[in-house]
Structure 1
């Protein structure tokens, strides 16, 4: 079955640590370590555009046209400001996605957090323009947006957590305790990020399109 592309605002990872081996050593903590060139950190998740538009239509009880919602959202995405590249620091690995994904817990500069907050504020304005009442409630309940927590937690997914049978081998009791809590301390790693971008931007509908990708 063809999986439709998800739309996100994200920053690509340009490097982890000072040399390739710094990232490769994380294989001791995660299975199926993702390729370095594919790493990124999500700032705002929109999801599948048609699904997002359908959520808007359902919320407004049909007052908003789905095609118009998709095109207006695409125009809004293209007009968002760009966050310049920055450097973060990771000192822990944490679990996400109900424990299915292992990721770097990244400490980012305050201006990055401020930028992410501004994206959510801009999303609220978009939703009001789409005739959505109570935008905050919509954001937390829209299946397309997929928000599980009201606060943004900067992280970079790197792979799947090690199986229980192997993740604790050769480690201290304290280390195993941290694993059970879903957090692993690691040697501090510098994480370099590039400018923000829209994932699958080329698939967004243009002005006058029918709103379908």
Structure 2
């Protein structure tokens, strides 16, 4: 569910930026050296700036709208769906910054990436569950049925499992079969939740 994407629309599409709700990483361990030490376990360690924990992956809005139109067999039209999604996103409450900790690297994305599995406070789990519940309500209001099936099958939303694993993607796995690896425990500090590529959302009206 974790994505590293620029803010420019992809492919010239007006709503082509990938949208996620995420908590930015402010610090891992005692500082830069603690994070750089992870390079002994992974290839192409990501730069600290931009590291984040994805709380909800929404995807490219145009693609999500198309998924919804296909699911409802055209009953939900894009001109109605898009403003509803944008309104819901911009009205979401903000999760305040929090502290977590990690002592394990785990494979992600079918084994192509490695990420820190993070223990987070219960309020973070509660907030993530609130996001999923809100997505359910939004999709119900848009006329979808079998919403759990839609969420798990929508290419735009990109879910592979109904279970949310708090994690931070940090680099490329050295092989596609890298196992989970124990590391020395490190604290992880997160900032307030935010919408990635918020400036690409269409204006209301």
Q: TM-score, normalised by structure 2?
A: 0.91
Who is 1:172 aligned against?
A: none
Alignment equivalent of 1:197, drawn from 187, 194, 199: 194
SS of residue matched to 2:92: coil
Uncovered stretches (5+) of structure 1, i.e. residues with no partner: 165-179, 209-213
SS of residue matched to 1:103: strand
Who is 1:49 aligned against?
A: 61
Who is 2:112 aligned against?
A: 100
Question: Can you list the C-alpha shifts for 1:100-140, whole angstroms capped at 9, x where unaligned?
Answer: 01100101011100100010000000001111112111111
Greater than 2 Å deviation, 4+ residue runs: 1-4
Q: Distance in 2 between matches of 1:70 and 1:160?
A: 34
| Equivalent pairs, count | 193
Q: Distance in 2 between matches of 1:95 and 1:163?
A: 10
Deviates more, 1:181-190 or 1:117-126: 181-190
Alignment equivalent of 1:2, drawn from 5, 8, 11: 11
Uncovered stretches (5+) of structure 2, i.e. residues with no partner: 1-9
Q: TM-score, normalised by structure 1?
A: 0.87
Matched, 1:37 2:49: yes
Query: What is the CA distance between 1:163 and its match in structure 2?
Result: 4.4
Would the aligned equivalents of 2:106 and 2:180 in 1 still touch at CA under 8 Å? yes
Query: What is the CA distance between 1:161 and its match in structure 2?
Result: 1.2
Question: Can you list the C-alpha shifts for 1:45-104, whole angstroms capped at 9, x where unaligned?
Answer: 010000000011011111111132112101100000000000000000000001001100
Who is 2:77 aligned against?
A: 65
SS of residue matched to 2:162: coil
Alignment RMSD (CA, Å) = 1.4
The structure whose Rg is larger is 1
Matched, 1:160 2:172: yes
Alignment equivalent of 1:80, drawn from 73, 78, 92: 92
Matched, 1:187 2:199: no
Question: Can you list the C-alpha shifts for 1:169-199, whole angstroms capped at 9, x where unaligned?
Answer: xxxxxxxxxxx56200000010000000000
Who is 1:170 aligned against?
A: none
Alignment equivalent of 2:151, drawn from 134, 139, 147: 139
Structure 1 181/101 Cα, relative in aligned 2: closer, same or farther at 3 Å? closer
Alignment equivalent of 1:125, drawn from 137, 141, 156: 137
